[in-house]
């Protein structure tokens, strides 16, 4: 059932909620004939998807600030929000088939559902379905590292060396095979990222040339998990540059 939202509730009921579930917002007005035509199709599309996509309605006459905020110039205007951002939109009373396709485009894919499941079996299936997705490869690589299957972890990520996290996992495996970085990776496995980064900096200062780039890649892969704008990340980037 559609949620009626206002300027006071929009951020809570749409922006924040869309971080968990896509929200379709119908900007409408009581006097708008096309709005009354489109409304039932939107409501039916939401109802048939079992809560995987939510519908919110904004009365533009009562909430003109929201209309201005999102550039609504004609109604009905329909905007889809995911993670607080408009990701798709249309204007006008479009056919029911187009409404259904619009809602379908917001549903998680089979690969997304498998990635969210997070177990190694699901991740392996996701990687088979979409071998080009680095996020899937990284999740599978980490799952294999957790059970000590280093060669299998390397196999999962080695085709994605353009991705910092994937390159970091590959570097970790290769360093471990060379007997380097055990203190760092033990710290990482117990959740102490700072200790892991500090240990890799220590390794980097005395490492032979053939291992320096691997240490750098492992370091960046670990640092990539932190907020890049955080003071911690900036500090460690400076330390890495100095050590190199």
The predicted structure's pLDDT at residue 210: 84
In CATH terms, 3-104 corresponds, of 1.10.579.10, 3.40.30.10, 3.40.30.110, 3.90.1170.50, to 3.40.30.10
Give me the chain's average pLDDT, please: 94
The predicted structure's pLDDT at residue 1: 81
Helix (H, G, I), strand (E, B) or coil at 24: strand
Polymer length in residues for the chain: 244
Whether 35 is catalytic: yes
In CATH terms, 110-243 corresponds, of 2.60.40, 1.10.3470, 1.10.860, 1.25.40, to 1.25.40
Q: Which of 35, 54, 106, 157 is catalytic?
A: 35
Residue ranges per structural domain of the chain: 3-104, 110-243
Per residue in 50-104, pLDDT (tens digit) is: 999 999 999 999 999 999 999 999 999 999 999 999 999 999 999 999 999 999 9
- The structure tokens 């088939």 sit at 97
Long-range contacts, stretch 175-179, CB < 8 angstroms, 24+ apart:
175/211, 175/214, 175/215, 175/218, 176/150, 177/150, 178/211, 178/214
Taking every pair of C-alpha atoms in the chain, what is the biggest distance, in angstroms?
Answer: 75
CB atoms within 10 A of CB 39: 18
Q: Which of 14, 32, 169, 171 is catalytic?
A: 32
**What's the pTM?**
0.71
Which residue, 84, 89, 126, is CA-closest to 109?
Answer: 126
């Amino acid at each position: 059932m559609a949620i009626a939202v206002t300027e006071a509730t929009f951020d809570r009921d749409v922006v924040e909620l869309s971080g968990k579930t896509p929200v379709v917002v119908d900007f409408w007005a009581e006097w708008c004939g096309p709005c009354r035509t489109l409304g039932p199709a939107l409501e039916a599309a939401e109802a048939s998807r079992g809560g995987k996509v939510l519908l919110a309605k904004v009365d533009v006459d009562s909430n003109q600030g929201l209309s201005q905020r999102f550039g609504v110039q004609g109604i009905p205007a329909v905007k889809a929000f995911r993670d607080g951002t408009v990701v798709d939109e249309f204007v006008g009373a479009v056919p029911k088939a187009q409404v259904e396709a619009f809602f379908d485009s917001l549903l998680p894919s089979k690969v997304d559902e498998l990635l969210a499941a997070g177990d190694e079996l699901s991740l392996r299936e996701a990687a088979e379905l979409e071998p080009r997705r680095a996020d899937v490869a990284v999740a599978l690589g980490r799952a294999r590292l957790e059970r000590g299957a280093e060669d299998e972890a390397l196999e999962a990520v080695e085709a994605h060396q353009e991705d910092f996290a994937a390159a970091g996992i590959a570097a970790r495996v290769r360093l471990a095979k060379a007997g380097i970085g055990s203190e760092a990776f033990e710290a990482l496995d117990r959740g102490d990222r700072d200790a892991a980064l500090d240990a890799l900096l220590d390794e980097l200062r005395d490492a032979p040339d053939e291992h320096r780039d691997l240490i750098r890649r492992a370091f960046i892969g670990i640092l990539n998990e932190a907020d890049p704008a955080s003071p911690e990340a900036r500090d460690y980037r400076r330390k890495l540059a100095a050590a190199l």
